[in-house]
Chains A and B, each alone.
Chain A
Amino acid sequence: MPYPILDPTGTTATRTTRPPRARRRRDLRGATVGLLVNTKQNAAPFLDEVGRLLIAKHGATGTMARTKVNFAAPAPDDLVKEMTTGCDVIITGIGDCGSCSASAVADGIAFEAAGLPAAAICSDAFRVTADAMAELRGAPGYRYATTPHPVAVLTADQVKERAARVLDDVMNLLTEPE
């Protein structure tokens, strides 16, 4: 063949270094829990309830909730900085759409790099896209918590029940050494 067929993707380099993972805490006693809410329906009450349970059952002292205005994009640097300064661990979610599931995972990876253990929570319908984003960020196999799809239609009581169900996974993500 005189000429090769050209590659339309422009991808040649593959990352070899894994991004850093924050040191895990032994427990959450005395910790401030950062809640990064992505504005998806039920995300705020879901994360609030997870925060409340971490205080009630695991000795966290408080929460600091912030809202990410653009759910599709990773959290802006100043927001990451503010939460890294004010919090000890981060919970981000709810990944419940094509772009926001991926970006919830990207946020988790960004907070890990900033030194904070993070737990991203995604609806289980978006595992593939969340995993793909982890790979793009050089963190293949990045672990996050899932809750069954759908989330947006849940009542207030159902949201609380879901938060309780995901709590052990969130704790494990925040405290378990890899």
Chain B
Amino acid sequence: MTPAPDPEEAQAAIEYCYAQGWSDGLPLVPASQPLVAKFLATTSKDPDEVIGELEQVGRNCTVYLAAINAAMAGCLPEYFPVVLAAFDALMRERAARGGGWQSTSGPAPMIVVNGPVRHELGFNTQGGAFGPGFRPNATVARAIGLIVRNAFGIRPHVLEQATQGLPGRWSICLAENEEESPWPPFAVDGGLQPGTSAVSATLLRTCEFVDNRHTPDPGQVLWDVADTISRTGSLIFRDTSAGVVFCPEHAQMLADAGFSKQDVQAWLIEHCGRTGADLRRAGKNGLRGIARFADADTSQDDTFSRILPSPRHIPIVVAGARNAAISMVVRIFGEWSGTAGPVGVSS
């Protein structure tokens, strides 16, 4: 039998990592050359290849640095291609390349995993989709947070200026429940073939549940979703973007009533919005360019303003257990690029 590791050595190594300022607040796995070599062996990419650059802070991330951070986050080496695909997906998002990581809104990446890799690596595709409890989901998301902190140097209270941040900032990695979804996988919306192991990502400002389990009428469920999407609190520009992570029960109810994903998106584009009077009450009825401001003008009080400009502004994912009709509205920071990337293939 292998002797148990020396806890005092382990504790000293963990404290060393804290002392360097590398931690997100939780203990890190100290990364060593042999461990990181196992990560690098899972990809054909050169360790020195730059996979992300943040021009405004003059920093970049190489495959090697990503591997160290993934190891420290608690990933197994075989998760590394998913970490790379997730990071790649995020770097395609305009908000993440711009000032998103520094923003007062403190946005969280939402990573969506599709395809066979979900089961190969043991991602949770069922209940508790937003976590916690499952190593691949938890550590892939955490790896991204550590890359931003360490490789890009965006640290809280310094270059990161989140006013309150949001729960789950470095922990949202959903594996879509494709088996119980009535619709094509999310990665197909991102331009890939069904059955591809793929990762999509965007930035969120928060999530809000829609608990609607007492109606058999899909129209009522959609009204409930629309009401949640249409809150004034999240409206800062003329348009907004809000995804829906449907639970399997809601998705199946909608599909049984004949709604494709595109039908749901079209319904929400039509019905999400507020009247001028509602917006004025919240000081958001005026428009200066695309930014909302408080305007005393009451002439638009009776006008209904739609807020979702296109289907790409309402990404739809199916996740969670089939045990209750509870879905989640996710509020997107900026807008989703509309792309998915395959796992293990250079972009």
CA distance A74 to B103 in the complex (A): 15
Option from A8, A70, A102, A137 in Cβ contact (under 8 Å) with B159: A102
Q: Establish whether residues B99 and A100, one from each chain, have CB atoms under 8 Å apart when the complex forms.
A: yes
Q: Which one of B17, B32, B157, B289 has the highest number of Cβ atoms from chain A below 10 Å of its Cβ?
A: B32
Q: Establish whether residues A126 and B150, one from each chain, have CB atoms under 8 Å apart when the complex forms.
A: no
Q: Establish whether residues B57 and A136, one from each chain, have CB atoms under 8 Å apart when the complex forms.
A: yes
Interfacial chain A residues near B33, Cβ < 8 Å: 3-4, 6
User: Would you give the 0/1 interface string for A24-65, flagging 1 where the beta carbon is closer than 8 Å to chain B?
Assistant: 000000000000000101000000000000000000000000
Q: Which one of A71, A99, A132 has the highest number of Cβ atoms from chain B below 10 Å of its Cβ?
A: A99
Option from A4, A7, A72, A126 in Cβ contact (under 8 Å) with B56: A72
Q: Does chain B have a CB within 8 A of A129?
A: yes
Interfacial chain B residues near A5, Cβ < 8 Å: 13, 16-17, 30-32
CA distance A7 to B146 in the complex (A): 12
Interfacial chain B residues near A133, Cβ < 8 Å: 56-57, 159
Q: Establish whether residues B56 and A8, one from each chain, have CB atoms under 8 Å apart when the complex forms.
A: no
Q: Does chain A have a CB within 8 A of B26?
A: no
Q: Does chain B have a CB within 8 A of A154?
A: no
Q: Does chain B have a CB within 8 A of A128?
A: yes
Q: Establish whether residues A9 and B56, one from each chain, have CB atoms under 8 Å apart when the complex forms.
A: no
Q: Establish whether residues B32 and A6, one from each chain, have CB atoms under 8 Å apart when the complex forms.
A: yes
In the complex, what's the smallest C-beta–C-beta distance from A6 to chain B, in angstroms? 4
A interface residues, Cβ below 8 angstroms from B:
3-11, 39, 41, 70-74, 97-103, 106, 126, 128-129, 132-133, 136-137
| Top 8 closest pairs, chain A to chain B, by CB | A99-B99, A72-B99, A98-B161, A98-B102, A8-B150, A99-B102, A3-B32, A72-B98
Instruction: Add 8 more A-B contacts to A10-B60, A41-B293, A99-B102 (CB < 8 A).
Output: A3-B32, A3-B34, A7-B68, A8-B146, A10-B150, A73-B56, A99-B100, A133-B56
8 A-B pairs (CB sep. < 8 Å)? A8-B65, A9-B151, A10-B150, A10-B151, A39-B289, A73-B98, A98-B160, A103-B99
